[in-house]
Structure 1
Amino acid sequence: MSQNIVCPKCQYIRKEGDDPSIPFTTCPDCGVIYSKWASYNANKVKANNPELFSVPEPTIASKFKFNLSIIRAVVNGMAKHPWRINGVLFSLLIIFNISTAPSFTWNNALVQCQMAIKNYSRDPDTAEVPFVSNIGAGDWYRFSWGRSTSFIRMRNGLGLEVPVTADCEVDGATKRITSLTINEKSIY
Protein backbone atom coordinates (compact mmCIF):
# COMPACT_ATOMS: atom_id res chain seq x y z
CA MET A 1 0.00 0.00 0.00
CA SER A 2 1.58 3.25 -1.13
CA GLN A 3 -0.64 5.73 0.72
CA ASN A 4 -1.60 6.08 4.37
CA ILE A 5 -5.30 6.68 4.93
CA VAL A 6 -6.15 8.44 8.21
CA CYS A 7 -9.65 8.06 9.68
CA PRO A 8 -11.22 11.49 10.24
CA LYS A 9 -13.15 10.24 13.29
CA CYS A 10 -10.68 8.15 15.32
CA GLN A 11 -7.40 9.19 13.60
CA TYR A 12 -6.52 5.52 12.92
CA ILE A 13 -3.86 5.11 10.23
CA ARG A 14 -4.55 2.20 7.92
CA LYS A 15 -1.68 -0.33 7.75
CA GLU A 16 -0.52 -3.09 5.41
CA GLY A 17 -1.63 -5.83 7.79
CA ASP A 18 -5.26 -4.68 8.15
CA ASP A 19 -8.07 -7.02 7.14
CA PRO A 20 -8.21 -6.98 3.29
CA SER A 21 -11.96 -7.74 3.29
CA ILE A 22 -12.66 -4.24 4.68
CA PRO A 23 -12.84 -1.77 1.76
CA PHE A 24 -10.48 1.19 1.61
CA THR A 25 -13.41 3.59 1.99
CA THR A 26 -14.12 2.31 5.54
CA CYS A 27 -12.06 2.61 8.74
CA PRO A 28 -11.04 -0.87 10.02
CA ASP A 29 -10.91 0.40 13.62
CA CYS A 30 -14.20 2.32 14.13
CA GLY A 31 -16.09 1.29 10.95
CA VAL A 32 -16.94 4.82 9.79
CA ILE A 33 -17.38 5.39 6.03
CA TYR A 34 -15.04 8.23 5.11
CA SER A 35 -17.29 9.98 2.55
CA LYS A 36 -20.34 9.92 4.85
CA TRP A 37 -18.31 11.29 7.75
CA ALA A 38 -16.99 14.14 5.59
CA SER A 39 -20.46 15.15 4.34
CA TYR A 40 -21.90 14.87 7.87
CA ASN A 41 -19.21 17.17 9.24
CA ALA A 42 -19.63 19.63 6.36
CA ASN A 43 -23.37 19.88 7.04
CA LYS A 44 -22.65 20.29 10.75
CA VAL A 45 -20.23 23.14 10.06
CA LYS A 46 -22.78 24.81 7.75
CA ALA A 47 -25.49 24.56 10.40
CA ASN A 48 -23.26 25.99 13.14
CA ASN A 49 -21.69 28.77 11.00
CA PRO A 50 -24.18 29.90 8.32
CA GLU A 51 -22.34 33.22 7.79
CA LEU A 52 -19.33 31.33 6.41
CA PHE A 53 -21.41 29.82 3.59
CA SER A 54 -23.82 32.68 2.83
CA VAL A 55 -23.35 34.55 -0.43
CA PRO A 56 -23.40 38.33 0.11
CA GLU A 57 -25.67 40.51 -2.02
CA PRO A 58 -23.74 42.11 -4.87
CA THR A 59 -23.20 45.82 -4.44
CA ILE A 60 -24.00 48.38 -7.09
CA ALA A 61 -20.29 48.98 -7.61
CA SER A 62 -19.60 45.28 -8.21
CA LYS A 63 -22.52 45.05 -10.66
CA PHE A 64 -21.19 48.10 -12.50
CA LYS A 65 -17.67 46.64 -12.66
CA PHE A 66 -19.06 43.35 -13.98
CA ASN A 67 -21.12 45.08 -16.68
CA LEU A 68 -18.18 47.30 -17.57
CA SER A 69 -15.92 44.28 -17.99
CA ILE A 70 -18.49 42.64 -20.29
CA ILE A 71 -18.73 45.81 -22.38
CA ARG A 72 -14.93 46.02 -22.61
CA ALA A 73 -14.70 42.40 -23.71
CA VAL A 74 -17.36 42.91 -26.38
CA VAL A 75 -15.76 46.10 -27.68
CA ASN A 76 -12.28 44.53 -27.73
CA GLY A 77 -13.62 41.50 -29.57
CA MET A 78 -15.39 43.71 -32.09
CA ALA A 79 -12.31 45.83 -32.66
CA LYS A 80 -10.45 42.71 -33.75
CA HIS A 81 -13.34 41.62 -35.98
CA PRO A 82 -15.23 44.68 -37.34
CA TRP A 83 -17.71 42.53 -39.27
CA ARG A 84 -19.14 41.45 -35.92
CA ILE A 85 -20.29 44.99 -35.20
CA ASN A 86 -22.62 44.88 -38.19
CA GLY A 87 -23.98 41.51 -37.12
CA VAL A 88 -24.64 42.64 -33.56
CA LEU A 89 -26.24 45.91 -34.64
CA PHE A 90 -28.41 44.13 -37.20
CA SER A 91 -29.52 41.58 -34.58
CA LEU A 92 -30.36 44.32 -32.08
CA LEU A 93 -32.31 46.20 -34.72
CA ILE A 94 -34.39 43.12 -35.50
CA ILE A 95 -34.99 42.36 -31.82
CA PHE A 96 -36.09 45.90 -30.99
CA ASN A 97 -38.35 46.13 -34.04
CA ILE A 98 -40.06 42.88 -33.11
CA SER A 99 -40.41 43.62 -29.41
CA THR A 100 -41.58 47.22 -29.72
CA ALA A 101 -44.50 46.68 -32.06
CA PRO A 102 -47.15 49.20 -30.99
CA SER A 103 -50.29 47.67 -29.57
CA PHE A 104 -53.73 49.22 -30.01
CA THR A 105 -55.37 49.96 -26.65
CA TRP A 106 -58.61 51.54 -25.57
CA ASN A 107 -56.76 54.84 -25.09
CA ASN A 108 -55.92 54.87 -28.80
CA ALA A 109 -59.56 54.10 -29.61
CA LEU A 110 -60.76 56.94 -27.35
CA VAL A 111 -58.46 59.43 -29.08
CA GLN A 112 -59.78 58.28 -32.46
CA CYS A 113 -63.36 58.86 -31.33
CA GLN A 114 -62.56 62.25 -29.78
CA MET A 115 -60.87 63.42 -32.99
CA ALA A 116 -63.76 62.20 -35.16
CA ILE A 117 -66.29 64.03 -32.99
CA LYS A 118 -64.24 67.24 -33.03
CA ASN A 119 -63.88 67.03 -36.81
CA TYR A 120 -67.66 66.65 -37.16
CA SER A 121 -68.42 69.73 -35.05
CA ARG A 122 -68.92 73.18 -36.61
CA ASP A 123 -66.03 74.64 -34.60
CA PRO A 124 -63.44 71.91 -33.88
CA ASP A 125 -61.22 74.27 -31.87
CA THR A 126 -63.86 74.97 -29.21
CA ALA A 127 -65.49 71.51 -29.07
CA GLU A 128 -64.86 69.80 -25.73
CA VAL A 129 -64.91 66.00 -25.81
CA PRO A 130 -64.31 64.77 -22.23
CA PHE A 131 -62.55 61.60 -21.17
CA VAL A 132 -64.86 58.59 -20.70
CA SER A 133 -64.09 54.97 -19.94
CA ASN A 134 -64.39 52.01 -22.27
CA ILE A 135 -67.64 50.05 -21.95
CA GLY A 136 -66.79 47.55 -24.67
CA ALA A 137 -65.24 44.12 -24.23
CA GLY A 138 -62.17 42.45 -25.66
CA ASP A 139 -61.03 43.89 -28.98
CA TRP A 140 -64.21 45.92 -29.36
CA TYR A 141 -64.16 49.40 -27.78
CA ARG A 142 -67.29 51.44 -27.07
CA PHE A 143 -67.50 54.94 -25.63
CA SER A 144 -70.63 56.82 -24.65
CA TRP A 145 -71.09 60.50 -23.80
CA GLY A 146 -74.40 61.54 -22.29
CA ARG A 147 -76.46 61.95 -19.14
CA SER A 148 -74.83 59.03 -17.27
CA THR A 149 -71.23 60.10 -18.05
CA SER A 150 -70.57 63.64 -19.25
CA PHE A 151 -71.85 65.59 -22.21
CA ILE A 152 -69.80 66.82 -25.13
CA ARG A 153 -69.83 70.62 -25.44
CA MET A 154 -70.25 71.92 -29.02
CA ARG A 155 -71.51 75.06 -30.69
CA ASN A 156 -74.81 74.87 -32.56
CA GLY A 157 -75.84 76.79 -35.69
CA LEU A 158 -76.52 79.94 -33.66
CA GLY A 159 -73.05 79.87 -32.11
CA LEU A 160 -74.30 78.83 -28.66
CA GLU A 161 -72.49 76.12 -26.72
CA VAL A 162 -74.85 73.18 -26.12
CA PRO A 163 -74.50 69.71 -24.53
CA VAL A 164 -74.34 66.86 -27.02
CA THR A 165 -74.66 63.07 -26.63
CA ALA A 166 -72.55 60.66 -28.64
CA ASP A 167 -71.71 56.99 -29.03
CA CYS A 168 -68.59 55.67 -30.71
CA GLU A 169 -67.50 52.10 -31.45
CA VAL A 170 -64.00 51.06 -32.59
CA ASP A 171 -62.89 47.66 -33.86
CA GLY A 172 -59.48 46.91 -32.31
CA ALA A 173 -58.50 44.45 -35.03
CA THR A 174 -58.90 46.93 -37.89
CA LYS A 175 -58.21 50.01 -35.71
CA ARG A 176 -61.14 51.84 -37.33
CA ILE A 177 -64.32 53.46 -36.11
CA THR A 178 -67.23 51.18 -36.99
CA SER A 179 -70.05 53.33 -35.63
CA LEU A 180 -70.35 57.01 -34.63
CA THR A 181 -73.62 58.54 -33.49
CA ILE A 182 -73.91 62.20 -32.43
CA ASN A 183 -77.23 63.46 -30.98
CA GLU A 184 -78.91 60.25 -32.17
CA LYS A 185 -77.81 60.96 -35.74
CA SER A 186 -75.66 58.22 -37.30
CA ILE A 187 -72.46 59.58 -38.82
CA TYR A 188 -70.68 56.29 -39.71
Structure 2
Amino acid sequence: MNLFRNTDEEYDGLPPEPFDQAAHDRALDHAVRFDHVQSLLEEAVAGENVSEAAGHAIAMIRNAAFNRNTSRLNTSERDELLDLLVGAREKIFSCLGDRLGRNSPNPKMQAFASAAFGASCALIVLWAEEDPKSNRSRELCSDLEDYTRWLRNELHNVSIEADIQRRQAARVQLIVDQIKEAANSQRLM
Protein backbone atom coordinates (compact mmCIF):
# COMPACT_ATOMS: atom_id res chain seq x y z
CA MET A 1 0.00 0.00 0.00
CA ASN A 2 1.57 3.28 -1.07
CA LEU A 3 0.36 6.03 1.23
CA PHE A 4 2.42 8.66 -0.58
CA ARG A 5 1.48 10.14 -3.93
CA ASN A 6 3.91 10.98 -6.70
CA THR A 7 6.95 9.20 -5.30
CA ASP A 8 9.84 8.81 -7.66
CA GLU A 9 13.10 6.92 -7.82
CA GLU A 10 15.08 9.74 -6.17
CA TYR A 11 13.43 9.48 -2.77
CA ASP A 12 15.22 11.68 -0.23
CA GLY A 13 13.57 10.30 2.91
CA LEU A 14 11.16 13.18 3.26
CA PRO A 15 7.45 13.02 2.50
CA PRO A 16 6.62 14.28 -0.97
CA GLU A 17 5.20 17.76 -1.33
CA PRO A 18 2.42 18.50 -0.71
CA PHE A 19 2.05 16.07 2.17
CA ASP A 20 -1.12 15.85 4.21
CA GLN A 21 -0.11 14.31 7.53
CA ALA A 22 -3.69 14.07 8.78
CA ALA A 23 -4.82 12.20 5.65
CA HIS A 24 -1.80 9.91 5.94
CA ASP A 25 -2.61 9.18 9.59
CA ARG A 26 -6.28 8.48 8.78
CA ALA A 27 -5.30 6.10 5.97
CA LEU A 28 -2.82 4.31 8.20
CA ASP A 29 -5.33 4.07 11.07
CA HIS A 30 -7.94 2.67 8.69
CA ALA A 31 -5.53 0.10 7.24
CA VAL A 32 -4.52 -1.09 10.72
CA ARG A 33 -8.14 -1.19 11.99
CA PHE A 34 -9.37 -3.11 8.93
CA ASP A 35 -6.44 -5.55 9.05
CA HIS A 36 -7.01 -6.20 12.75
CA VAL A 37 -10.75 -6.87 12.35
CA GLN A 38 -10.01 -9.05 9.31
CA SER A 39 -7.40 -11.13 11.15
CA LEU A 40 -9.68 -11.56 14.19
CA LEU A 41 -12.52 -12.78 11.99
CA GLU A 42 -10.16 -15.12 10.11
CA GLU A 43 -9.14 -16.55 13.48
CA ALA A 44 -12.82 -17.11 14.39
CA VAL A 45 -13.52 -18.74 11.00
CA ALA A 46 -10.60 -21.10 11.64
CA GLY A 47 -12.14 -22.03 14.99
CA GLU A 48 -9.28 -20.57 17.02
CA ASN A 49 -10.20 -18.59 20.14
CA VAL A 50 -13.66 -18.01 18.64
CA SER A 51 -15.21 -16.21 21.60
CA GLU A 52 -12.25 -13.89 22.13
CA ALA A 53 -11.50 -13.21 18.46
CA ALA A 54 -15.11 -12.74 17.35
CA GLY A 55 -15.91 -10.69 20.45
CA HIS A 56 -13.05 -8.27 19.82
CA ALA A 57 -13.87 -8.03 16.11
CA ILE A 58 -17.52 -7.28 16.83
CA ALA A 59 -16.53 -4.65 19.39
CA MET A 60 -14.26 -2.96 16.86
CA ILE A 61 -16.99 -3.07 14.19
CA ARG A 62 -19.48 -1.58 16.64
CA ASN A 63 -17.06 1.20 17.58
CA ALA A 64 -16.27 2.05 13.96
CA ALA A 65 -19.73 1.94 12.40
CA PHE A 66 -21.14 5.17 13.81
CA ASN A 67 -17.87 6.95 14.62
CA ARG A 68 -17.61 10.01 12.38
CA ASN A 69 -13.83 10.10 12.80
CA THR A 70 -13.35 6.54 11.51
CA SER A 71 -12.58 6.13 7.83
CA ARG A 72 -15.24 4.27 5.89
CA LEU A 73 -14.81 0.81 4.42
CA ASN A 74 -14.65 0.53 0.65
CA THR A 75 -16.86 -2.02 -1.10
CA SER A 76 -14.29 -4.80 -1.21
CA GLU A 77 -13.36 -4.31 2.47
CA ARG A 78 -17.05 -4.36 3.43
CA ASP A 79 -17.66 -7.54 1.44
CA GLU A 80 -14.54 -9.20 2.87
CA LEU A 81 -15.61 -8.53 6.47
CA LEU A 82 -19.19 -9.64 5.78
CA ASP A 83 -17.97 -12.88 4.20
CA LEU A 84 -15.71 -13.55 7.17
CA LEU A 85 -18.36 -12.78 9.78
CA VAL A 86 -20.94 -14.94 8.01
CA GLY A 87 -18.29 -17.65 7.70
CA ALA A 88 -17.76 -17.55 11.47
CA ARG A 89 -21.50 -17.67 12.30
CA GLU A 90 -21.77 -21.38 13.12
CA LYS A 91 -18.59 -21.32 15.22
CA ILE A 92 -19.84 -18.24 17.09
CA PHE A 93 -23.20 -19.88 17.80
CA SER A 94 -21.47 -23.13 18.73
CA CYS A 95 -19.23 -21.44 21.29
CA LEU A 96 -22.30 -19.75 22.82
CA GLY A 97 -23.64 -23.29 23.27
CA ASP A 98 -25.89 -23.62 26.28
CA ARG A 99 -26.57 -19.88 26.38
CA LEU A 100 -28.62 -20.46 23.23
CA GLY A 101 -30.17 -23.63 24.55
CA ARG A 102 -28.07 -26.24 22.75
CA ASN A 103 -29.06 -28.96 25.23
CA SER A 104 -32.53 -27.62 25.96
CA PRO A 105 -33.61 -25.45 23.03
CA ASN A 106 -34.64 -21.91 23.85
CA PRO A 107 -36.25 -20.50 20.68
CA LYS A 108 -36.54 -17.00 22.13
CA MET A 109 -32.82 -16.82 22.96
CA GLN A 110 -31.87 -18.35 19.61
CA ALA A 111 -33.97 -15.74 17.79
CA PHE A 112 -32.39 -12.98 19.87
CA ALA A 113 -28.90 -14.26 19.06
CA SER A 114 -29.78 -14.41 15.35
CA ALA A 115 -31.00 -10.82 15.51
CA ALA A 116 -27.78 -9.80 17.27
CA PHE A 117 -25.71 -11.52 14.62
CA GLY A 118 -27.72 -9.77 11.89
CA ALA A 119 -27.14 -6.45 13.65
CA SER A 120 -23.38 -7.12 13.64
CA CYS A 121 -23.56 -7.71 9.88
CA ALA A 122 -25.61 -4.53 9.46
CA LEU A 123 -22.96 -2.52 11.31
CA ILE A 124 -20.34 -3.67 8.82
CA VAL A 125 -22.57 -2.33 6.05
CA LEU A 126 -23.05 0.95 7.95
CA TRP A 127 -19.30 1.25 8.50
CA ALA A 128 -19.03 1.51 4.71
CA GLU A 129 -21.53 4.38 4.48
CA GLU A 130 -20.47 8.02 4.67
CA ASP A 131 -23.25 9.05 7.04
CA PRO A 132 -24.85 5.91 8.45
CA LYS A 133 -27.24 7.73 10.79
CA SER A 134 -28.59 10.17 8.22
CA ASN A 135 -31.57 8.17 6.98
CA ARG A 136 -32.17 5.85 9.94
CA SER A 137 -34.12 6.42 13.10
CA ARG A 138 -32.29 6.90 16.36
CA GLU A 139 -34.15 3.86 17.75
CA LEU A 140 -32.96 1.61 14.92
CA CYS A 141 -29.36 2.74 15.38
CA SER A 142 -29.62 2.15 19.13
CA ASP A 143 -31.09 -1.30 18.57
CA LEU A 144 -28.28 -2.24 16.19
CA GLU A 145 -25.65 -1.06 18.65
CA ASP A 146 -27.31 -2.78 21.61
CA TYR A 147 -27.86 -6.10 19.83
CA THR A 148 -24.23 -6.04 18.77
CA ARG A 149 -23.10 -5.12 22.28
CA TRP A 150 -25.15 -8.02 23.67
CA LEU A 151 -23.46 -10.48 21.29
CA ARG A 152 -20.03 -9.08 22.10
CA ASN A 153 -20.76 -9.34 25.83
CA GLU A 154 -21.95 -12.94 25.53
CA LEU A 155 -18.78 -13.85 23.64
CA HIS A 156 -16.71 -12.01 26.23
CA ASN A 157 -18.45 -13.96 29.02
CA VAL A 158 -17.60 -17.25 27.28
CA SER A 159 -13.98 -16.11 27.07
CA ILE A 160 -13.91 -15.11 30.75
CA GLU A 161 -15.44 -18.42 31.81
CA ALA A 162 -12.82 -20.30 29.76
CA ASP A 163 -10.04 -18.29 31.45
CA ILE A 164 -11.46 -19.07 34.91
CA GLN A 165 -11.81 -22.76 34.08
CA ARG A 166 -8.25 -22.87 32.71
CA ARG A 167 -6.85 -21.33 35.92
CA GLN A 168 -8.96 -23.67 38.07
CA ALA A 169 -7.71 -26.69 36.12
CA ALA A 170 -4.12 -25.51 36.56
CA ARG A 171 -4.63 -25.16 40.33
CA VAL A 172 -6.21 -28.62 40.54
CA GLN A 173 -3.33 -30.09 38.51
CA LEU A 174 -0.83 -28.42 40.83
CA ILE A 175 -2.51 -30.00 43.87
CA VAL A 176 -2.67 -33.40 42.16
CA ASP A 177 1.04 -33.15 41.30
CA GLN A 178 1.87 -32.22 44.90
CA ILE A 179 -0.13 -35.19 46.21
CA LYS A 180 1.60 -37.55 43.75
CA GLU A 181 4.99 -36.16 44.72
CA ALA A 182 4.22 -36.62 48.41
CA ALA A 183 2.98 -40.17 47.76
CA ASN A 184 6.15 -41.00 45.80
CA SER A 185 8.28 -39.57 48.62
CA GLN A 186 6.45 -41.75 51.16
CA ARG A 187 7.08 -44.89 49.06
CA LEU A 188 10.78 -44.15 48.89
CA MET A 189 11.09 -44.00 52.66
- Please state which structure has a larger fraction of its residues in strand: 1
Give TM-score, length-normalised by structure 1: 0.20
Give TM-score, length-normalised by structure 2: 0.19
- Please state which structure has a larger fraction of its residues in helix: 2
Q: Which has the higher contact order (CA 8 A, sep 6+)?
A: 2
